[in-house]
Amino acid sequence: MVDTLPADVTGGDLAASLEAIGETTPLVQHLTNTVTMNDVANLTLHWDALPVMADSPGDAGEMAAGAAALLFNTGQVPEGKVEAMHEAGATAADREIPLVLDPVGVGATPTREAVAEALLEDLEFSIIKGNYGEISALAGVEAEVRGVESVGEYDEIEDAARSLADITGATVVASGVSDVIATGDEAIRVTAGHERLSEVVGTGCMLGATLATFRGALEDAATAAVHGTLAFGIAGERAAEMAHNGPESYRTNFHDAVAGLSPTVVADLELEDRIERVD
């Protein structure tokens, strides 16, 4: 059963989630791509969690036994890593450890689609996060994904996200100019972030890591999805307020902003206009 999406989030609510991460220091296991692995590991650490990148057969399943959450990122799909995902996923299922799927590039090639479909067939995911194109492709809706980027118009992304959530039982996060979060019954839009996030390779992967981190510390998948997405976007805004000369210095600022986004900092934020329910 998927929990109700929280739409009336206060600074105090977000602070409580950040405190939960700091108090539990969840071990988050990432089976991800090598392009963004370092950023993903560092960002997880900056959220006050523990990253581990065990992604080979044998080791992946063994490490999963002690994880608080697992993230599967299909940015690269070599046979050994796919095998390790299924192995680690089986361990997680046995121990009721939440799984987060980031279906990077789904919709671009039949191989990636087959990998994602096999994972969804064999495993139950708590959260599925992708861009508009990836979520639409997984939902069986016409989508255009070039490489790992979503292109085109997605006027019915809320319906696609709800459909995928209904099919999988997961909370679905569709990231874009505004982020759509859906269960099978409802959807909300989260307005947070900055355009400079789109100029840095790997911010989508880092959002996936953020959601896995929040899910590792929180019992409620819907709350983890909403609070994680909101915190990520706020950090993106705060990074833009720091002095920077271009995308690379903004990337550094973003890591610093996440590290500095403490419960005390967010407790007094006014978030009433950040979340909108979608009919």
Annotation: binding site for ATP: 129, 175
DSSP 185: S
For residue 202, which of 78, 73, 107 has the smallest C-alpha distance?
73
The DSSP line for 6-67 is P-S--HHHHHHHHHHHHHH--EEEEE--TTSHHHHHHHHHHTT-EEE---STTHHHHHHTT-
Residues 6+ apart with CB under 8 A from 230: 9, 14, 190, 192, 271, 274, 275
Burial category of 128 from C-beta neighbours within 10 Å (exposed 0-12, middle 13-18, buried 19 and up): buried
Binding residues: 53, 129, 175, 202
Cβ-contact 106, 137 below 8 angstroms: yes
What DSSP designation does 263 have?
H
Residue 163, both tokens: 């459909």
**Which tokens sit at 169?**
């039982």
The residues, ordered by sequence, that sit 6+ positions from 243 with a Cβ below 8 Å of its Cβ are 249
- Find residue 150's DSSP bridge partners: 145
Q: Which residues are annotated as a binding site for substrate?
A: 53, 202
Of 95, 164, 100, 86, which is closest to residue 132 (Cα–Cα)? 164
The dihedral through the CA atoms of 214, 217, 221, 227 has a sign that is: negative
- Cα angle, residue 211 at apex, residues 205 and 212 outer, rounded to 5°: 90
